[in-house]
Amino acid sequence: MLDHIAETSASAAGQTRASAFPPGVAWIDGRFVSMEEARIPVLDWGFLRSDATYDVVHVWQGKFFRLDAHVERFQRSVEKLRMKLPFERAELEAILHACVRRAGLRDAYVEMICTRGHSPDFSRDPRKAINRFIAFAIPFGWIATEEQRRRGLSLWVASIPRIPPASVDPTVKNYHWLDLVQGMFEAYDNNAESVVLSDGAGHITEGPGFNLFAVKDGRVYTTDRGVLEGITRRTALELCAELGLETQVAPLPLETLRSADEAFITSTAGGIMPVGQLDGKAYTQPCPGPITSALSQLYWSKHEDPAWTTPVDYDSADS
Amino acid sequence: MLDHIAETSASAAGQTRASAFPPGVAWIDGRFVSMEEARIPVLDWGFLRSDATYDVVHVWQGKFFRLDAHVERFQRSVEKLRMKLPFERAELEAILHACVRRAGLRDAYVEMICTRGHSPDFSRDPRKAINRFIAFAIPFGWIATEEQRRRGLSLWVASIPRIPPASVDPTVKNYHWLDLVQGMFEAYDNNAESVVLSDGAGHITEGPGFNLFAVKDGRVYTTDRGVLEGITRRTALELCAELGLETQVAPLPLETLRSADEAFITSTAGGIMPVGQLDGKAYTQPCPGPITSALSQLYWSKHEDPAWTTPVDYDSADS
């Protein structure tokens, strides 16, 4: 029977491998490799315990956007999990630049990861593990398709509450997503396109890879707890200040989101994107609403601002 | 700078690789490989979203222990996450036998895993992913050292509550362990050896890889919720019935554990093992207590019982 298994699976896996990996370049265990070759040991606790943290910065038209903010958050996350990066910050950034350069990308999604690693003596003690740093650059990807960005995403509020901050600190960007994934299935079952989770007590938290905002009577609302403090979330708040918009960062009742004039999501994977429907009900204002549009335009214009951008080093000789 | 990075890291990684992987054999993507070669793509959502489930069965003196129970639970977990295994049960079991056979192990820790896989078109939709099955056999490992099993483990009740079942179903064996890992660090900080988490409302849940039992006035207590329904936990309850011991499976107040005569943990990685101290305070009864000892002896004697064991197929020709 195993002959048969090995044969059919190898062939299935072969087919999968041929088509399944995006172009891109990763850095792992001291080497630059293709995305297909970028593999972590099954025994790494980053996998077997989801004992890992990460960050994602994007490159747009050849420039990193807010690289400092992402790297600083990543370093804080690593420290909070009591891990150690094998490099100083300058070396870490040099690896990110090199991944983008080697991938030849002008618009990229660049992820940096620190896993616990695994114990050299198969102990169960995380203190003994050698932490592993991984980075990769792949083509820029959007959370919402072009059509969804034009007409607004259809979101579903799941019955599953987000993992509470007391159990897993959401300000440490992490891979604990089973609640979000199960919520996505619930959204699909209800003909929605993505999901947002509550805190189980009537307040909105976040969705898979994004923060959520509501706009009502010209004021912009987002939650202050139970979520990743997204860099795009922070950017949106700063752009609100620049536009003279009032903001309220406080627990966000589901009711505020439902009765909003506009709603939008924020993510490194797409910036500021409109929500068109919630639980199958369309927002009354034409989508995208005026405040969402103004913020989104300003967001993209900031991709030319030297204060928030770092040109990718495309010229260094590759090692 | 990158030259330097590539060089030093490759050398560090090389040293790590040389010593860090236990002997064993894995099955992944249609091939049997060493534990060092057993690697999953960084882009697999089993890693990037911890969107995976698994099970662990052990082999003792050449026999699987309760293989049926583990495989059945694994199949249920896969189904609950809306994944699909690429094989029927007989083929899956044949792979587990082959991993143990090829590893040449008489006592083994055998893990089966199903990950979401990744999307062939870099969509974020988990429905599009091709699920990945992985299995491996490595030498049997104990949660508690020989000394700890003799004198009893020193456990710490963490301030961090376990991820609640409303967010992540704990009966689907999963890798959402950041709460447990942070709890382990809290335990180490307090000179304890491992940790147990509460539900945040005064009840005991589980520890990293084990269920917990308390014994008081001859009655055996364990919780009925918020935990993995461990096969060793189930075995312990069945052995209690065989020994005529009364059991109570209900929310377990921390106070019951504190005031117990004996306490023990259950895990595939070691069976039934005594707890000697809780929060730095020793249990008054000599450790292991009489009921823990009786259960543990009966547990190991069952490893000869044909009803609960399946001899490893060491003789099949390898494919």
What DSSP line would sit under B204-218, residue for residue?
A: B-EETTEEEEEEETT
Determine the average pLDDT of the residues in A102-121: 95
> Taking CB atoms and an 8 Å limit, are B13 and A30 in contact across chains?
yes
Q: Tell me if chain B has a CB within 8 Å of the CB of A162.
A: yes
> Taking CB atoms and an 8 Å limit, are A175 and B49 in contact across chains?
yes
Note the pLDDT tens digit of each residue in A73-90. Answer: 999 999 999 999 999 999
Mutation target among A15, A19, A39, A42 for the B interface, most CBs of B within 10 A: A42
Statement: residue B165 has pLDDT above 70: yes
Determine the average pLDDT of the residues in A20-37: 95
Statement: residue B274 has pLDDT above 70: yes
What's the pLDDT score for residue A318? Answer: 63
Q: Tell me if chain A has a CB within 8 Å of the CB of B38.
A: yes
Single out the residue of A230, A261, A226, A229 nearest to residue A245, CA to CA. A261
Q: Which chain A residues are closer than 8 Å to B17 by Cβ?
A: 29
pLDDT band at A18 (very low <50, low <70, confident <90, very high): very low
Look up the CATH superfamily of B146-304.
D-amino Acid Aminotransferase, subunit A, domain 2 (3.20.10.10)
pLDDT band at A319 (very low <50, low <70, confident <90, very high): low
Q: Tell me if chain A has a CB within 8 Å of the CB of B294.
A: no
Side-chain half-sphere of A244: how many Cα atoms within 13 Å? 0
What's the pLDDT score for residue A2? Answer: 53
Q: Which of B45, B82, B319 sits opposite A185 (nearest CB)?
A: B82
Q: Which of A2, A98, A161 sits opposite B319 (nearest CB)?
A: A2
Q: Which of B31, B87, B185 sits opposite A82 (nearest CB)?
A: B185
Single out the residue of A175, A173, A189, A223 nearest to residue A203, CA to CA. A223
Between chain A and chain B, the number of residue pairs with CB atoms below 8 A apart is 244
What's the pLDDT score for residue A9? Answer: 46
Q: Tell me if chain B has a CB within 8 Å of the CB of A28.
A: yes
Q: Which residue has the higher pLDDT, A115 or A286?
A: A115
Statement: residue B12 has pLDDT above 50: no
> Taking CB atoms and an 8 Å limit, are B49 and A178 in contact across chains?
yes
Statement: residue B160 has pLDDT above 50: yes
- Cβ–Cβ < 8 Å for A2, B318: yes
CA distance A172 to chain B (A): 10
CA distance A245 to chain B (A): 32
Contacts of A67 (CB under 8 A, 6+ apart): A57, A93, A96, A310
Report the predicted TM-score, pTM, of the whole model to 2 decimal places: 0.94
Q: In what helix (H) or strand (E) does residue B2 lie, and over which residues does it extend?
A: helix B2-20
Domain boundaries, chain B: 22-139, 146-304
Class of CATH domain B22-139: alpha beta
Note the pLDDT tens digit of each residue in A144-201. Answer: 999 999 999 999 999 999 999 999 999 999 999 999 999 999 999 999 999 999 999 9
β-strand B132-139 against B108-115: which pairing, if any? antiparallel
How far is residue A203's CA from residue A214's CA, in Å, rounded to a whole number? 12
Q: Tell me if chain B has a CB within 8 Å of the CB of A168.
A: yes
CA distance A219 to chain B (A): 31
Q: Which residue has the higher pLDDT, B316 or A208?
A: A208
What's the pLDDT score for residue B120? Answer: 80
Single out the residue of B117, B76, B110 nearest to residue B93, CA to CA. B110
How far is residue A261's CA from residue A240's CA, in Å, rounded to a whole number? 16
Note the pLDDT tens digit of each residue in B300-315. Answer: 999 999 999 999 999 9
How far is residue A145's CA from residue B127's CA, in Å, rounded to a whole number? 17
The predicted complex's ipTM stands at 0.94
Q: Which residue has the higher pLDDT, B267 or B5?
A: B267
B162 to each of A141, B201, B312, how far by Cα in Å?
34, 11, 36
What is the 8-class DSSP label of residue A161?
A: P
Statement: residue B6 has pLDDT above 70: no
- Cβ–Cβ < 8 Å for A55, A269: no
Q: Which residue has the higher pLDDT, B12 or B94?
A: B94
What DSSP line would sit under A72-136, residue for residue?
A: HHHHHHHHHTT---SS-HHHHHHHHHHHHHHHT-SSEEEEEEEE----TT--S-GGG---EEEEE
Note the pLDDT tens digit of each residue in A55-74. Answer: 999 999 999 999 999 999 99
CA distance B139 to chain A (A): 10
What DSSP line would sit under B268-316, residue for residue?
A: TTTEEEEEEEETTEE-SS-SS-HHHHHHHHHHHHGGG-TTTEEE----S
Determine the average pLDDT of the residues in B67-79: 98
Give the total residue count for chain B.
Answer: 319
pLDDT band at A119 (very low <50, low <70, confident <90, very high): confident
In the numeric block, which tokens belong to residue B216?
Answer: 């008081």
Say if residue B172 is exposed, middle or buried (CB neighbours under 10 Å; 0-12, 13-18, 19+): buried
What is the 8-class DSSP label of residue B107?
A: S
Q: Tell me if chain B has a CB within 8 Å of the CB of A306.
A: no
How far is residue B22's CA from residue A122's CA, in Å, rounded to a whole number? 7
Say if residue A189 is exposed, middle or buried (CB neighbours under 10 Å; 0-12, 13-18, 19+): exposed
pLDDT band at B197 (very low <50, low <70, confident <90, very high): very high
Statement: residue B202 has pLDDT above 50: yes
Compute the CA torsion angle B110, B116, B122, B124 (nearest 10 deg).
Answer: -140
B97 to each of A3, B225, B271, B315, how far by Cα in Å?
14, 33, 21, 10
CA distance B143 to chain A (A): 7
Output the CA angle A84-A86-A88, nearest 5 degrees.
95
Interface subset of A 95-154, CB within 8 angstroms of B: 95, 98, 113, 116, 118-120, 122, 124-127, 130, 134, 136, 138-139, 141, 143
pLDDT band at B2 (very low <50, low <70, confident <90, very high): low
How far is residue B299's CA from residue B231's CA, in Å, rounded to a whole number? 12
Determine the average pLDDT of the residues in B90-112: 98
